[in-house]
Chain A
Amino acid sequence: MMLLESLAKLLRRRPVDTSLTLAGAAIVAAMAFMALAAPLIAPYDPYVSVDKALLPPSSSHPMGTDNLGRDVYSRVIYGSRIVLTVVLTSTLVSMAIGTALGLVSGYFGGVLDRALSVVMDSIYAFPGLILAIAFAAMLGPGVYNTIVSISVVYIPTYFRMVRGQVLSVKSSLYVEAAKALGASHGRIMWRYILPNVLPILPVIFSMNVADAVLTEAALSFLGVGVPAPTPDWGFDLRNGQRNLLAGYWWPSTFPGIMIVVLALGFSLLGEGLNELLNPSRRW
């Protein structure tokens, strides 16, 4: 309800902001559709060779074929499934774990808080990609392992943001009032603190997903992410790279574009949501 009201207000406001947000939303929606409808819209099976290798884009293969004769277009469409699944799942997992830990840590403080903060800060201090690669290398390739690797990287982000919010909300008068009413810790966290912390999440989530798209692509590119022959943009990027110098640009370029577009889409959406939920007072 609140979201719809805010949306209506936003639409009446700054056309530039609004159009960028809508562009982001459109991209994400298109990708989601592509992922869901893959079996219906992809002309070929992405796993099998359907034609000669390295055919340039044509009417039967709008994006050409790769070095194994697979239709790039179909691989790109099916790739969106993997990418979206991995990326959304890992971000959701990060969000759930990071938020829960941040909530508890911020609320109770003390030793628990100090210990968790140290752990989280240490993880946060690592460049995300390096950490993800380290985990992926440890766990080995595979979709589930990739999800785990990426999740770990983003948990501290949620932890820190949520903990920060919790600290400020914790000292507000309505939380004191709840305490005075006799509410238990759990009740205060669940009904009084968490709802006031949630507004910041959608924005972080969006931005995170954008980042995760790139991380996932990188992992697969390096061979420690989603393994062959699963269609995946990062993987295909690497796969096509061999033949790039020889002039076969299409097996790498199209997946590459998709990575960029999806990351962009989530970024725009995140920025737009930020304006929506936390409007900056710039009259």
Chain B
Amino acid sequence: MEEILRVENLKKYFPLERSFIERLLTRKRRYVRAVDGISFSVRRGEIFTLAGETGCGKTTTGRIILRLEEPTSGKVFFDGTDITQLRGEELRRLRRRIQPIFQDPYASLNPRMRVGDAIKDPLEIHGIAEGEEARKMVLEMLEKVGLTPPKKFYNLYPRDLSGGQRQRVAIARAMILRPELVVADEPVSMIDVSLKAAILELMLKFKEELGLTYLLITHDLAVARYVTDRIAVMYLGKIVEQGTADQVFDNPLHPYTKALMIAIPTPKPKRRRKIPIRGEVPLSPVNVPPGCRFHPRCPYATEKCRREEPPLVEVEKGHLVACWLAQ
């Protein structure tokens, strides 16, 4: 299978605001190392998940791929081209091929635009269709995403719709361009439990029909488990484990991944789980500890873990871990 997306040593550092005194006394800046050197590739037609807790850098990575954010360093290759260098007209043409689905269906739609116009806009932006022809395409799309009768939904405003319905509109807007890669950032985390599967099914349906590739970004490993082919777990800006769904879920090697698996609630009564990690994710990835980032919380940390940062190494085919103990 060919590779559609490749991320190489991607870094994104956000400079911290300095107080007046700091500005006077030193030239050094402090940074939030949101993404600190990650590399991975996604194959055409697969679902690849970037998983992790808040602050791990997965959302920032997604935004860089969507060109909503510039990387501090590193490259992102889409279909062979380094997209971080694209500007102007080329960038616009690229956007047609990579589309987002955002987490918050309440915030991702323009409150002053009717549903029909919101879905029609991309067609006009890229000169695909106009007027009556565009309208027809939108009505078809509304039908496809289950917002029927389409004529009624065409004229509604986002505020007239429920969360699930709005997310369908957002999906329609993304899909009408027939993109090749969809970056879905927590697409169902704000949807009711009883409706999550419906949205996921819709996303899978489009995948079939358009031959899409998904980069799924989520903290909900249960949802990831349900749809993903491969997964990379992130912690404090780095990938700590990566592999196929079966590899990572059935045989997690990194202590953090193990802890995540245990921590996820499954509806089995009275399960007292011992979470094998202490403390919690630092407030922000500013003062990254030396050595392995995870060592302050790791019950198995050794001297080496405290001093040297473990590299991401393949321990079985396709399964990579960044941990001294797994190597």
Q: Are A183 and B110 CB-contacts (below 8 A) given A173-B102, A177-B100?
A: no
Does A52 have its Cβ within 8 Å of any Cβ on chain B? no
**Bound-complex Cα distance A176 to B66 (A):** 10
Q: Is the CB of A181 within 8 A of B173?
A: yes
- Write out the residue numbers on chain B whose beta carbons fall within 8 Å of the beta carbon of A182: 91-93, 95-96, 122, 125-126
Q: Is the CB of B109 within 8 A of A187?
A: no
Q: Is the CB of A181 within 8 A of B122?
A: yes
Q: Is the CB of B125 within 8 A of A174?
A: no
Q: B-side binding surface: helix, strand, loop or mixed?
A: loop
Taking the nearest CB of chain B, how far is it from the CB of A36, in angstroms?
A: 33
- Write out the residue numbers on chain B whose beta carbons fall within 8 Å of the beta carbon of A195: 110, 112-113
Taking the nearest CB of chain B, how far is it from the CB of A50, in angstroms?
A: 54
Q: A-side binding surface: helix, strand, loop or mixed?
A: helix
Interface residues of A, CB < 8 Å — how many?
17
Interface residues of B, CB < 8 Å — how many?
27
- Write out the residue numbers on chain A whose beta carbons fall within 8 Å of the beta carbon of B122: 181-182
Does B70 have its Cβ within 8 Å of any Cβ on chain A? no
Q: Is the CB of B99 within 8 A of A191?
A: no
User: Within residues 147 to 206 of chain B, which ones have a CB less than 8 A from any CB in chain A?
Assistant: 170, 173, 177
**Bound-complex Cα distance A187 to B126 (A):** 12
User: Within residues 155 to 192 of chain A, which ones have a CB less than 8 A from any CB in chain B?
Assistant: 172-174, 176-184, 187, 191-192
Q: Is the CB of B110 within 8 A of A192?
A: yes
**Bound-complex Cα distance A176 to B95 (A):** 12
**Bound-complex Cα distance A211 to B110 (A):** 34
Taking the nearest CB of chain B, how far is it from the CB of A154, in angstroms?
A: 25
Residue of A nearest to B117 (CB): A191
Residue-by-residue, is B94-119 near A (CB-CB < 8 Å gives 1, otherwise 0)?
01101110101001111111000000
Does B68 have its Cβ within 8 Å of any Cβ on chain A? yes
Taking the nearest CB of chain A, how far is it from the CB of B250, in angstroms?
A: 35
Taking the nearest CB of chain A, how far is it from the CB of B105, in angstroms?
A: 10
Q: Is the CB of A196 within 8 A of B110?
A: yes
Does B229 have its Cβ within 8 Å of any Cβ on chain A? no
Does B121 have its Cβ within 8 Å of any Cβ on chain A? yes
- Write out the residue numbers on chain B whose beta carbons fall within 8 Å of the beta carbon of A173: 102, 104, 107-108
Q: Are A174 and B121 CB-contacts (below 8 A) given A179-B68, A182-B96?
A: no
Q: Is the CB of B110 within 8 A of A178?
A: yes
Q: Are A191 and B102 CB-contacts (below 8 A) given A179-B68, A182-B96?
A: no
Q: Contact check: which of A177, A183, A184 meets B108 at CB < 8 Å?
A: A177
Q: Is the CB of B113 within 8 A of A191?
A: yes
Taking the nearest CB of chain A, how far is it from the CB of B166, in angstroms?
A: 11
Q: Contact check: which of A177, A181, A196 meets B102 at CB < 8 Å?
A: A177
Taking the nearest CB of chain B, how far is it from the CB of A178, in angstroms?
A: 7
- Write out the residue numbers on chain B whose beta carbons fall within 8 Å of the beta carbon of A183: 121, 125
B contact set with A: CB distance below 8 Å: 66-68, 91-93, 95-96, 98-100, 102, 104, 107-113, 121-122, 125-126, 170, 173, 177
User: Can you list 27 contacts pairing A with B, beta carbon distance less than 8 Å?
Assistant: A173-B102, A173-B107, A174-B108, A174-B110, A176-B68, A177-B100, A177-B102, A177-B108, A177-B109, A178-B121, A179-B68, A180-B67, A180-B99, A180-B100, A181-B95, A181-B122, A181-B173, A182-B93, A182-B95, A182-B96, A182-B122, A182-B126, A191-B110, A191-B113, A192-B110, A195-B110, A196-B110
